[in-house]
Chain A
Amino acid sequence: MGSVAYGLGEARRARRGFLPAILGAGASGLLAACGQAGGAAPTAPPTKATDAPKPAAGSSPAAGPSPAVVASPASAAPAASPSPSPLAAAPAAAAKAPAVSLKGRAMTSSAFGGDTQAVQKRLVFDPFDQATGASTTLVTLLSADALARARAEKGNPQLDLVQFSGGQEKIAAQEGITQALDQAQIPNLGSIVESFRNPAGQWATTAAIAEGILYRTDKVSPAPTSWKDFWRPDVQNHVAFPDITNGYGMNFLVMAARVNGGGEQNIDPGFTALAEIAPKATIFKAAAEVAQLFSQGDIWMMPYDSSHAFRVRSQGIPVQFASPTEGVPAIFITASVLSGSKNVDVAHAAINYMLESRVQAEIAKDLRWAPVVQGAPLEPDVAADVPSTPEAVRRLLALDTDAINAGRPQWTERWNREIARA
């Protein structure tokens, strides 16, 4: 494979002085042998800087032999000369792409795995690579894992771009793990809807997801309209909600507080309310369980997002998304650039590409992540699933992540004792 061939260079570089006594030439030799053996296998065609970005086919995320997660810089890489000052150099590579050539440059970004990663690769990173000549590698790291890893690697990050979905971007910025964005390199920052913008420019919001109620249309009647419907007697024993370590569970706690007279500053009512339904509810940790829980027929209702509703529905399970009247917490997908990254310019260009209105519309179609830029052209069925109108966007609640981050340690402790009891 191209990727393994690439590894030879990397392996040689890293071998210098690193436990040669233990690992010795044997390991490297074996790895090299595999690289050669694997070289015969088909690799992705070398990317050309002049290729126009291919319009992404609207196939379902899971269908078809999806492109390898392992990017294949291989053959193009050695020949390409990294331009010393990419910003000053080269005319536009493609009409809508940023006006830079990043030929031969490599960049590593985190992604969330599963279909979201496949779709992001297909709609954002692959076309970005083709338009600029860069080569992007995606690493699956959920937000919390990504922050932990970036923190351990602080000062010498192996990632250039990191994506968060649980408010971790603030902690990362505060701890100096990520650096402020150079707004001049991301012209599209200006087209982000005002309320989604980070005024300090420490990160870019690239998508919004609405957290509401997912429910089985064949079991829950009437359809839920309020967060208080989780306390309805007819759904008890069939409610599930995520753990507090999952951002959706944290937001659910905050909403439970809000609809009971509290809020981020007064979380007590939330705990009291959740303690009522918790004994008969299923509490789970991973996003991966959502579809599995609904498919068993035993779970009828849970707080999650429109993106998962879309995913579960497309698997043939009758699940709908409801936006409670009290408001819908927004989950923001953000992109930050790591301090000490050696590919700051590539990361910036990639963020700018994510914010192209056409790209935003395509992501909305395949993942049901709401666009954050004005004027992203949405098809009617997509627009129905994501908050797209200005009113809908205004209905999105931006929860106080500062208060949540500050309360997290105590709330988690309390949750473990009062809600997630055995």
Chain B
Amino acid sequence: MDRAMEPRDRAGVSPLSSFDGGQTAEVLDRSSADGHQSLPTAPPVTGDEAGGSPGTAWLTPWVLMLPALLLFFLLFVLPQARLLGYSFEPDPQSAATGLTLENYGRLFGDMHYLGILGRTLWMGLLVTVITLVLGYPMAYWLARLETRWKTVLLVLTIFPLLTSAVVRSFGWMVLLYRTGVVNQSLQRLGIVDAPLPLMYTLSGVVIALAEVLMPFMVLTLYGVIRGIDRNLEEAAMDLGAGPLSTIYRVTLPLSAGGVLAGSLLVFSLAISSFVTPSLVGGPRVQLMATAIQEQTVSLLNWQFAATLSAVLLAVVLVLALAYSRLVERSGDRSAVVPV
């Protein structure tokens, strides 16, 4: 039976004028948590018809997911399973046959590859934090903006996605070179004496990736923040909470789901992108995606490439799950879906 139909926060329907901002959030939390307990068997909204009868209601989600599951089984699980099989085959240069774990041993027994994995995760984290810190205020600003130019401003945020990755990376190269625009401006303004190493460094990659992935953060957050009832914020402020604490205590918890979705998207995309790291980072910034590319294309060692991919996927999924739980705990509890 479907027990997910707990009422979400009753933001839109219940007047909350008797609470201050902080309490509002707490109460919201509590009310949804309570809902979880008190209405465990609320009738599913979509289940009745799709399932035909309450007895088959458990089928409903599967029916809804059928197209997606079919797609992913045929075009993701099946082909990736073949590739995963490669990771248990011996190195193409050795004469050995049969199944082996030597590829995994090679990866985990070598600080070089563990370093690459660590650097990749660190890079993904930096990109996610930058896009979140810069993207949240932008999304909030856009969501609360009342002007007829709003659509244009929204479209401006997605401009980075309209230029292909190669072209955009070239743009960044011109900006980030030792003699590039950024360094020249910084030197002219007297902020730095010697040019900063930006091109062919991890910093350059982080900057360039944060830029192109920002739209995913901003638009995802925008969709969520727009859905938050403004009366809640006003109630909190009427009671004397400052704008910052209102955001921190009301808006942020209510948009935790958006933060989660945005950061998962950005993190995943950052660690899997290849063109920008290889052009802006060059050979010195070795990341999982570039290592996988190298093994696949230059060395034709699909066995090790598959191993790297499998480990990357497993590690990131575990991290994503842990992160979801964390956000879940700190945010609006019922409103966060894990991973």
Contacts and interface: CB of A to CB of B under 8 A. Distances in A.
Contacts of A421: 284
B283 A151 contact: no
B300 A148 contact: yes
Interface in B181-204: 199-202
B105 interface: no
B300 A171 contact: yes
A282 interface: yes
Contacts of B279: 285-286, 289
Interface stretch (B44-52, B171-179, B233-241): B171-179
A233 B178 CA distance: 20
A284 B297 contact: no
B112 A416 contact: yes
Contacts of A88: none
Interface stretch (A255-263, A290-298, A317-325): A290-298
A19 B286 contact: no
Contacts of B282: 243, 282-285, 420
B283 A283 contact: yes
B297 A298 contact: no
B299 A416 contact: no
B298 A144 contact: yes
B70 A298 contact: no
B67 A22 contact: yes
Given A283-B283, A285-B279, A422-B201, A145 B297 contact: yes
B294 interface: yes
A417 B178 CA distance: 24
A401 interface: no
Contact of B200 (A22, A145, A282, A297): A282
A145 B296 CA distance: 9
Interface string A237-268: 00000011100000000000000000000000
Contact of A420 (B93, B201, B284, B301): B284
Contacts of B93: 409
B74 interface: yes
B112 A412 contact: no
Contacts of A298: 177-179
B297 A148 contact: yes
B71 interface: yes
A147 interface: yes
A408 interface: yes
B285 interface: yes
Contacts of A171: 300
B180 to A, nearest CB: 7
Contact of A147 (B202, B286, B300): B300
A30 interface: no
Contacts of B174: 292
B297 A422 contact: no
B56 to A, nearest CB: 22
B70 A144 contact: no
A21 interface: yes
A201 to B, nearest CB: 24
Nearest to A284: B282
Interface residues of A, number: 31
Contacts of B285: 422
Given A283-B283, A422-B284, A292 B173 contact: yes
B255 interface: no
Given A286-B278, A286-B279, A298-B179, A148 B296 contact: yes
Contacts of B284: 283, 420-422
Nearest to A168: B300
Nearest to A175: B300
B58 interface: no
B299 A409 contact: yes
Nearest to A145: B297
Contacts of A244: 283
Nearest to B285: A422
Contacts of B301: 409
Given A148-B296, A289-B279, A22 B71 contact: yes
Most buried by A among B166, B178, B179, B284: B284
A144 B283 contact: no
A135 B95 CA distance: 43
B170 interface: yes
Nearest to A416: B286
Contacts of A144: 297-298
Interface in A274-320: 282-286, 288-289, 292, 296-298
B300 A420 contact: no
A200 to B, nearest CB: 21
Contacts of A288: 166, 170
B71 A297 contact: no
B180 A22 contact: no
Contacts of B202: 422
Most buried by A among B174, B296, B298: B298
B299 A420 contact: no
Contacts of B180: 296
Nearest to A406: B93
Contacts of A282: 199-200, 282
A159 B151 CA distance: 45
Nearest to A285: B278
A19 B74 contact: yes
A408 B299 contact: yes
A417 B177 contact: no
Nearest to A149: B297
Contacts of B297: 144-145, 147-148, 245
Interface string B56-85: 000000000001001100100000000000
A396 B199 CA distance: 35
Given A148-B297, A283-B282, 7 more contacts: A19-B74, A144-B298, A245-B297, A288-B170, A297-B179, A298-B177, A416-B112
7 contacts: A22-B70, A22-B71, A244-B283, A282-B199, A285-B283, A297-B179, A298-B179
10 smallest CB-CB distances across A and B, nearest first, come from A420-B283, A243-B283, A245-B298, A144-B297, A283-B283, A148-B297, A298-B179, A296-B177, A422-B284, A420-B284
Interface of B: 67, 70-71, 74, 93, 112, 166, 170, 173-174, 177-180, 199-202, 278-279, 282-286, 294, 296-301
Interface of A: 19, 21-22, 144-145, 147-148, 151, 171, 243-245, 282-286, 288-289, 292, 296-298, 408-409, 412, 416-417, 420-422
